[in-house]
């Protein structure tokens, strides 16, 4: 587990300022949800934290360690995307164990870890299937399982449920809440679904056009939105 701290983080793409000086402290074990309109920089911010994209300015610390100069693989962060790409010719078990195989873990080590994850995510009965024999929700669970394989301290999820139908999203949301309780990992969860944000988050970060508008508990934001924009996103009607 690890805290995450961003100070004055900026990102420029070809002259366009996309992230405009973000300060943010996320506590060890916290589940923080990013919300904001399409194009406001949610995915970019996750990619900067995970190291898939380089920052243009500022600093990122994980725990005590400054990491913004480190490669993605040196940061011990797992990412789950909306469009999860499983290996179609591999079984569920092999998909989950693949990162461990790449890391050179022993066969028994891989089996042990894969079973542990399969138990947590209730995937054991599906272990011998291939992705095309799974439902959308099951596939997304496998993608999450694969992200967990290396015991990441930090898990970043970028709209992981947005391709699923509404009923399935509710099930998966509950599963994610349970997973967060069990793993006690630090998580950032991006969504444009207000209900998802309100039910999952310890704290919500409202982003707009590359800046943080407000950070607070769901109740804080609901009752005391700092402006009309936040109110429009999650605030109480007034």
In the complex, the residues that contact Mg ion under the rule CB under 5 A are: 42-43
Rounded Cα distance between 192 and 163, Å, is 12
Pick the stretch among 40-48, 111-119, 135-143, 173-181 that binds ligand ADP (CB under 6 A): 40-48
Nearest approach in angstroms of CB 166 to ligand ADP is 21
CB 66 within 8 A of CB 7: no
H helix or E strand, kind and range, residue 119: helix 107-120
Rounded Cα distance between 45 and 122, Å, is 31
**Residue 129 burial by Cβ neighbours in a 10 Å radius (0-12, 13-18, 19+):** middle
- Closest to ligand ADP by CB, 20 vs 129, is 20
Buried residues in 94-103 as b, exposed as e (16+ CB within 10 A): bbbbbbbeee
- Closest to ligand ADP by CB, 13 vs 87, is 13
Out of 13, 54, 227, 228, the only residue in the binding site for ligand ADP (CB under 6 A) is 13
CB 156 within 8 A of CB 77: yes
146: partner contacted, choices Mg ion, ligand ADP, none (Cβ within 5-8 A by kind)? none
Q: Which residue, 238, 196, 197, is CA-closest to 215?
A: 197
Out of 44, 50, 95, 138, the only residue in the binding site for ligand ADP (CB under 6 A) is 44
- Closest to Mg ion by CB, 42 vs 169, is 42
62 to 81, contacts with ligand ADP by CB under 6 A?
A: none
Pick the stretch among 20-28, 34-42, 57-65, 196-204 that binds ligand ADP (CB under 6 A): 34-42
Record the tokens describing residue 181, joined without a space: 């309780």
Nearest approach in angstroms of CB 7 to Mg ion is 23
Which residues on adjacent β-strands are paired with residue 20?
Answer: 10
110 to 149, contacts with ligand ADP by CB under 6 A?
A: none
- Closest to ligand ADP by CB, 39 vs 232, is 39
Neighbours of 195 (CB within 10 A): 12
40: partner contacted, choices ligand ADP, Mg ion, none (Cβ within 5-8 A by kind)? ligand ADP
18: partner contacted, choices ligand ADP, Mg ion, none (Cβ within 5-8 A by kind)? ligand ADP
Out of 4, 6, 9, 18, the only residue in the binding site for ligand ADP (CB under 6 A) is 18
Nearest approach in angstroms of CB 36 to ligand ADP is 6
Q: Which residue, 30, 36, 4, 68, is CA-closest to 187?
A: 30
Record the tokens describing residue 194, joined without a space: 């207000």
**Positions that interact with ligand ADP (CB under 6 A):** 13, 18, 36, 38-44
């Amino acid at each position: 587990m690890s805290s995450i701290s961003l100070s004055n983080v900026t990102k420029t793409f070809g002259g366009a300022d996309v992230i405009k000086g973000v300060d943010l402290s996320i506590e060890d074990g916290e589940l923080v949800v990013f919300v904001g309109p399409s194009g406001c920089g949610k995915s970019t911010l996750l990619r900067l934290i995970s190291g898939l994209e380089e920052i243009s300015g500022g600093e990122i610390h994980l725990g005590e360690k400054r990491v913004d100069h480190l490669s993605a693989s040196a940061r011990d962060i797992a990412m789950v995307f909306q469009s999860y790409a499983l290996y179609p010719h591999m079984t569920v078990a092999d998909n989950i164990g693949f990162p461990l195989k790449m890391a050179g873990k022993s066969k028994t080590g891989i089996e042990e870890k894969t079973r542990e994850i399969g138990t947590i995510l209730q995937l054991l009965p599906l272990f011998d299937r291939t992705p095309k024999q799974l439902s959308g929700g099951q596939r997304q669970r496998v993608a999450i399982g694969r992200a967990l394989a290396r015991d990441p301290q930090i898990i970043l999820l970028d709209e992981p449920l947005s391709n699923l139908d509404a009923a399935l999203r509710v099930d998966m949301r509950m599963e994610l809440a349970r997973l967060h309780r069990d793993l006690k990992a630090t998580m950032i969860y991006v969504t444009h679904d207000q209900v998802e944000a309100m039910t999952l988050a310890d704290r919500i970060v409202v982003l707009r056009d590359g800046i943080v508008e407000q950070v607070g508990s769901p109740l804080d934001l609901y009752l005391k939105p700092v402006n009309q924009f936040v109110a429009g996103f999650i605030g109480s009607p007034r």
